[in-house]
Structure 1
Amino acid sequence: MIEKIRHFSSTWWFRTFLGLVAVTFAVLWGGGDWMHNMGGGRGQVVATVGAERITTWQLRSAVDRRLKQIAASTGQRISEEDALKAGLFHQVLDTLVQQALIAQEAHRLGITLTDESVRKALAQNKSFFDPTGKFDKQHFLMVIERLGYNEASFVAELRQDLIRQNLLSTLFQNLSLPSLEELILYKWQEQTRQVLYTLISSDDIVFSETPKDEDIKELFTKYKEVLKAPEYRDFSVLVMDPKELGKTLTVSQEELEKAYADRPEALKDKSLDALKAQLEEEVRHQKALSLIYEQSTKIEDDIAAGNTLKEIGTKYKVPVVSFQKVDASGAYDPFASDAASKLALSDAQKAYVREAFTLEPQTAGTFVEGAENVSFLVHVDKALEAHERTAADVSPARAAALWVAMKKKEKAAGIASDIAKKSQSPSVFLTTLQSHGLKGQSVRLTRRGPSLPSKLALPERVVAALFQGNVGQTVPAPLESSLEKALFFVGCVEGVTSPEVDPQDKSFVERRTDFDQMYQNDYVASYLNSLASRFPVERNNRWLEAQLKEHS
């Protein structure tokens, strides 16, 4: 897609992208009329690029596909309304405009692509291979459907992307940054800094006061936003895991022999018997994926007919997992009586949460494919509205412990701030640490973090701040923070070192490739601007503003 042009990775002109115009699959694989009406007559015009019109129908279709791609890759389902508010409509429209610019220039230059070239690119896309390394049309159809495409639209977009890639690679592939500028950039990027630092944990703060009733009331007033109960949801999840499902499937000798026969010759270095266990696993996995694809449609039909997840789980022998009082971040209610016994949700389970918060209460979604081809469907059982907590909502012992924890966090933050304010040099930094009874440590940083393996994990923003100033620059920052605990970092730059560069050094040669890509990226941006002069671009911003106003 055009995002690949923006980021401009070194192999972007060789990859299979998804574009946004229509030509049919039937032209390439036999039979049928290739033109399907995608024209400007279907909806209001949101932009014109030269002679081409982009309609609201095309924009909404592109946004819908983008949302399905996000859901397929992250497990997070986003509504059209949220996409509009987040600016996704503008981003997708920019993509459509840029693609139209390049397409019209390619047409002006007479650049075309044969059906055979498109067919070859599709057949070589490993995303559509079966376990034996061959193109599998059924798997291809399943994947593109998950991404919001049919055969016609996917192949059409592939054709357009390949044409764009041919044009752009011809123009920009061999551009390179001047050697002196590459050297300066390398030294800047590979600079290292010696940093003195200390860690201040609220757990280590000594605080022995006992709160009074008025202190507790003040706590819930002062921290009402922090202590506010977010919206919680109870939901159930039907999970279809190909690994677990595969364990219930059998593989026949005929299927094994076919899988072995279909393997590329280069992979037949072992006999069927030697590869039997591996082939059985591969065939089971493929059969499980096919069964999931088949059953997911039936299950969605059963839900539409009024069947419950419990009934469906029993019918199809699929596990159903339930979650109670979980917020949108995947955290349980910390003030619930059983909070201490709750385990943190896994990344896969957090995908369930994201899906649950896109649905209305008492409704079920559709199947979403998560990590490792695990498909899941969520039903929201109940939604608990957000509300402000009061002291009456929490047990006296819990409220007292919370008050002490907040005081310790405040004191730890105050110490970190005091050290940062007083420290003007490494020596003053160490003296200030001693005055607070703290010890300093040392770490060498690159722009990517500690140069050697270290338990110290610094966020990118903290590392960037330490590279902005000179020796003596002191940076305070919270590293970890929860309701009742906090960890603060305070670091002071002790020294700065720039590398000596050998132009033949392997790391410098590799980095030059990155620099060239950045350079090429700048030229691509300029090229797009120049195309906008040849093919004038006009956007119907009123339509987008009206849509945003309607949903605000």
Structure 2
Amino acid sequence: MMDALRRGAKSWVAKFLLIILAGSFALWGVADVLNRTDEATLITIGETKIPGEQYRYELQNEMQNFGRRLGRPITLQEARVFGIDRQVLGRLITQASLDEKARSMGLNMSDDAIAEAIRNDPQFQTPGGQFDQSYFQQVLRASGRSEAGYVAEKRREMLRQAIGNGLTAGTPVSETLRDLIHAYSNEARSFDYFVLTKADTDEIAEPTPEELQTYFDANTQRFAAPEYRSINIIAVDPEALTSTIEVTEDELQTEYDIRKADYSTPERREVRQIVFAEREEAEAAAGAIADGKSFEDVATERGLARTETELGLVAKGDIVDPTVADAAFALNQGEVSDVIEGQFGFVIATVDAIQEGSERSFEDARAELEQSLKLARAETAVLDMFDKVEDARAGGQTLAEIAEANGLELVTIEKVDAAGNGPDGNQIENLPAGQELLREAFATDVGLENDPIQQRGTSFVWFDVTDIEPGRDRTLDEVRDRVAEAWRAEQEANALSTAAQSAVEAINNGEKITAVAGQYGKSVTSARPVKRNETSAPAGSSAVERLFLLPQGRAAQAPTAEGGNRIVFTMERSMLPERDPNAEDDKEVVDRIAIARSNDLLFQYVGSLEDEFDVVVNGELLRQLLGEPATN
């Protein structure tokens, strides 16, 4: 059993299990397991308990990770909008269910298996690829974890992986399914075609008043006037204020001195090292080098590849061990160090190349420094202005009055619809806060005080809706030209589609495509073979989709890739290369099928655990952790 579990923990399933299971409890609908349990425990599954503090920790980590991808921190409210709170809860329920399943089955991982997994973990290895206990402890301390806690979590993780591997490993992928997927992905079809344009159809006559009225009546909403809103806006942006701020030469010089390191590029060196466990080994190697052996000879004798001795092109501060860093940066190029007693063992180092550092002068950095200082002071000025504007609004002043009193520009939008267009149908340019402003403005009313919109840190936009013009149906006389244009476009499209369909029917009734094309003064082009996911101009996705539904020799028509025209085509030949079971793309297919099948099995299995175990979530504690008021 233990050997099987250890083998399972190393399989490919381990790479996907936690990701797959993270969302599995979304299938359950977390809300239906919310009940009361003991005060500090958030999740209870059989005898397995998850404390609320663990949920808080996991949620904060996910919020930080999401914020890094977004480029800014996110609030708890935003995390809930993105569903991060439910994802974390689902993941913890999933993990706890598997832990309880392992406990109920009496499964365990031996200490030897856990130790082996930790020793083989790259994050706990020295640059030479060797596990180091002191480095292991250092990494744990830096992440705020204890050794006992980490080992316990590693044990649970490996048991979960082993359970997943037991569910999904060992079943071969059907050859029939592989053949079907190969055929779908690799079949290519060639086609002959010609293109019809509106010039190939009869000219459309002017619409009669009755036709225009009928078309308008059927499309009234299409020509209706949208709701328009008039908006007053004040926008305060630090960059806009920088031109009003002065900085002295002394202030620039002081800032340069403070930030001098930012304008300097440190010296970098290509450093190599050999780490020895014992001083005697290191001294023997140093003696051999002194007697004429090269650093490379010693590394080769110890079975080290060049990549296992390289630290790369590094600055002094990039080297983790300061003792090694000091010694390496005291060497000349090509020189080998004496034995260095480092943190991770005894080291001999050498330098293959030296890249000199550089420093930008004050004059070179002056413009950047000036802009930076002005922007920093402008941000303070914006915050001061923010307080003034908010105080004035609290006192009942309108934005127009506030702008006049504080020398701010008042932007007045007379009429704008929810899409940002004016009554003339053109987009209103340079609208502060853009779509966010429109969304907020169309969710409020005249006379209501609205929260300012914050953009890019300390940029703020205030707005008042001063008037609302409701949407309405227009009369035909108001939009007669637009209606006539739309009617004509529809008639031309219908005529073109009818002509293309007539050509298709003629071909499918026995006429040659060349003869039918000749009736329109067109020549036929033979296109190169395409696969299902390709388009070959002028064929678009619609044409390619229909091509793969046609028997050989049959015709169809579709819009062209650029639109406006119609392509008439016949399927000429289907080609399918023989499947090579050893080809990389075939192996990728097998992997994708295996992953998809594993996903399905794992989702079903984890979902079934809800029936097997009594899953209870402390709803009151969860609400507290999410900042909601307590229920009575």
* Band the TM-score falls in, shorter-chain normalisation: 0.5 to 0.7
Structure 2: segments with no counterpart, 5+ residues: 1-11, 26-33, 38-42, 124-152, 270-312, 316-354, 618-632
Q: Report the Cα distance in structure 2 between the residues aligned to 1:170 and 1:49, rounded to whole angstroms.
A: 23
2:173 matched to which residue of 1?
Answer: 178
Does the Cα contact within 8 Å between 2:17 and 2:161 map onto a contact in 1?
A: yes
2:478 pairs with one of 366, 376, 393: 393
1:458 pairs with one of 541, 544, 569: 541
1:273 matched to which residue of 2?
Answer: 359
Relative to 1, partners in 2 of residues 1:365 and 1:384: Cα closer, same or farther, differing over 3 Å?
farther
Residue 555 of structure 2 is aligned to residue 471 of structure 1: no
Q: Report the Cα distance in structure 2 between the residues aligned to 1:465 and 1:232, rounded to whole angstroms.
A: 43
2:210 matched to which residue of 1?
Answer: 214
Shift of the alpha carbon at 1:406? 3.1
Amino acid at match of 2:359: D
2:599 matched to which residue of 1?
Answer: 521
**TM-superposition CA deviations, 1:457-482 (whole Å, max 9, x none):** 536xx64454345435655555689x
1:325 pairs with one of 381, 397, 416: 416
Q: Report the Cα distance in structure 2 between the residues aligned to 1:20 and 1:244, rounded to whole angstroms.
A: 49
Shift of the alpha carbon at 1:191? 1.9
1:533 matched to which residue of 2?
Answer: 611
Does the Cα contact within 8 Å between 2:191 and 2:529 map onto a contact in 1?
A: yes
Relative to 1, partners in 2 of residues 1:278 and 1:378: Cα closer, same or farther, differing over 3 Å?
farther
Q: Report the Cα distance in structure 2 between the residues aligned to 1:314 and 1:190, rounded to whole angstroms.
A: 71
Does the Cα contact within 8 Å between 1:49 and 1:101 map onto a contact in 2?
A: no
The more displaced of 348-357 and 195-204 is 348-357
- RMSD between aligned residues: 7.0
The more displaced of 491-500 and 378-387 is 378-387
1:409 pairs with one of 493, 497, 502: 493
1:411 is paired with a residue whose SS is: helix
Q: Report the Cα distance in structure 2 between the residues aligned to 1:310 and 1:219, rounded to whole angstroms.
A: 49
Residue 250 of structure 2 is aligned to residue 254 of structure 1: no
How much identity, in percent, do the aligned residues show?
14
Structure 1: segments with no counterpart, 5+ residues: 1-7, 22-38, 43-47, 123-160, 540-552
Q: Report the Cα distance in structure 1 between the residues aligned to 2:155 and 2:442, rounded to whole angstroms.
A: 37
**TM-superposition CA deviations, 1:394-451 (whole Å, max 9, x none):** 2x5554444333322332333344455555499655555554555554353223223x
Relative to 1, partners in 2 of residues 1:196 and 1:216: Cα closer, same or farther, differing over 3 Å?
same
Relative to 1, partners in 2 of residues 1:388 and 1:283: Cα closer, same or farther, differing over 3 Å?
farther
Shift of the alpha carbon at 1:73? 6.3
Relative to 1, partners in 2 of residues 1:393 and 1:182: Cα closer, same or farther, differing over 3 Å?
same
Q: How does 1:358-373 map to 2 (within 5 A)?
A: 359-361=443-445, 364=450, 367=453
2:259 is paired with a residue whose SS is: helix
Q: Report the Cα distance in structure 2 between the residues aligned to 1:40 and 1:103, rounded to whole angstroms.
A: 17
1:449 is paired with a residue whose SS is: coil
Q: Report the Cα distance in structure 2 between the residues aligned to 1:323 and 1:17, rounded to whole angstroms.
A: 53
Relative to 1, partners in 2 of residues 1:227 and 1:445: Cα closer, same or farther, differing over 3 Å?
farther
Aligned residues between the structures: 441
Does the Cα contact within 8 Å between 1:256 and 1:283 map onto a contact in 2?
A: no
Amino acid at match of 1:467: F
Q: How does 1:46-125 map to 2 (within 5 A)?
A: 100-109=93-102
1:446 pairs with one of 522, 531, 534: 531
Amino acid at match of 1:522: D
Q: Report the Cα distance in structure 2 between the residues aligned to 1:287 and 1:165, rounded to whole angstroms.
A: 50
Relative to 1, partners in 2 of residues 1:319 and 1:490: Cα closer, same or farther, differing over 3 Å?
farther
Relative to 1, partners in 2 of residues 1:432 and 1:16: Cα closer, same or farther, differing over 3 Å?
same
Does the Cα contact within 8 Å between 1:13 and 1:165 map onto a contact in 2?
A: no
2:189 pairs with one of 171, 193, 204: 193
1:227 matched to which residue of 2?
Answer: 223
1:216 is paired with a residue whose SS is: helix
Does the Cα contact within 8 Å between 1:13 and 1:166 map onto a contact in 2?
A: no
Does the Cα contact within 8 Å between 1:235 and 1:378 map onto a contact in 2?
A: no
Relative to 1, partners in 2 of residues 1:309 and 1:444: Cα closer, same or farther, differing over 3 Å?
farther
1:493 is paired with a residue whose SS is: strand
Relative to 1, partners in 2 of residues 1:93 and 1:446: Cα closer, same or farther, differing over 3 Å?
same
1:109 is paired with a residue whose SS is: helix
Q: Report the Cα distance in structure 2 between the residues aligned to 1:11 and 1:278, rounded to whole angstroms.
A: 50
2:609 is paired with a residue whose SS is: helix
2:573 matched to which residue of 1?
Answer: 495
Relative to 1, partners in 2 of residues 1:520 and 1:15: Cα closer, same or farther, differing over 3 Å?
closer
Does the Cα contact within 8 Å between 2:433 and 2:453 map onto a contact in 1?
A: no
Shift of the alpha carbon at 1:227? 3.1
Amino acid at match of 2:594: D
1:496 is paired with a residue whose SS is: strand
Q: Report the Cα distance in structure 2 between the residues aligned to 1:162 and 1:377, rounded to whole angstroms.
A: 50
Relative to 1, partners in 2 of residues 1:304 and 1:49: Cα closer, same or farther, differing over 3 Å?
farther
1:130 matched to which residue of 2?
Answer: none
Q: Report the Cα distance in structure 1 between the residues aligned to 2:450 and 2:154, rounded to whole angstroms.
A: 39
* Larger-Rg structure: 2
Relative to 1, partners in 2 of residues 1:192 and 1:397: Cα closer, same or farther, differing over 3 Å?
same
1:214 is paired with a residue whose SS is: helix
**TM-superposition CA deviations, 1:265-306 (whole Å, max 9, x none):** 956466343899999999999999999999998888777653
Q: Report the Cα distance in structure 2 between the residues aligned to 1:315 and 1:121, rounded to whole angstroms.
A: 60
The more displaced of 416-425 and 187-196 is 416-425
Shift of the alpha carbon at 1:220? 0.9
Relative to 1, partners in 2 of residues 1:530 and 1:413: Cα closer, same or farther, differing over 3 Å?
same
1:211 is paired with a residue whose SS is: coil
Does the Cα contact within 8 Å between 1:201 and 1:486 map onto a contact in 2?
A: yes
Does the Cα contact within 8 Å between 1:49 and 1:535 map onto a contact in 2?
A: no
Amino acid at match of 1:392: D
Q: How does 1:126-141 map to 2 (within 5 A)?
A: none
Q: Report the Cα distance in structure 1 between the residues aligned to 2:445 and 2:388, rounded to whole angstroms.
A: 19
Q: Report the Cα distance in structure 2 between the residues aligned to 1:280 and 1:19, rounded to whole angstroms.
A: 52
Amino acid at match of 1:471: Q
The more displaced of 173-182 and 521-530 is 173-182
**TM-superposition CA deviations, 1:72-106 (whole Å, max 9, x none):** 9699xxxx9xx99xxx99x9979955752443323
Relative to 1, partners in 2 of residues 1:255 and 1:190: Cα closer, same or farther, differing over 3 Å?
farther
Q: Report the Cα distance in structure 2 between the residues aligned to 1:436 and 1:234, rounded to whole angstroms.
A: 54
Calculate the TM-score normalised by the size of structure 2: 0.47
Relative to 1, partners in 2 of residues 1:517 and 1:165: Cα closer, same or farther, differing over 3 Å?
farther
**TM-superposition CA deviations, 1:336-373 (whole Å, max 9, x none):** 54x4x759999x99854884587334575665779xx9
Calculate the TM-score normalised by the size of structure 1: 0.53
Does the Cα contact within 8 Å between 2:540 and 2:561 map onto a contact in 1?
A: no
Shift of the alpha carbon at 1:391? 1.3
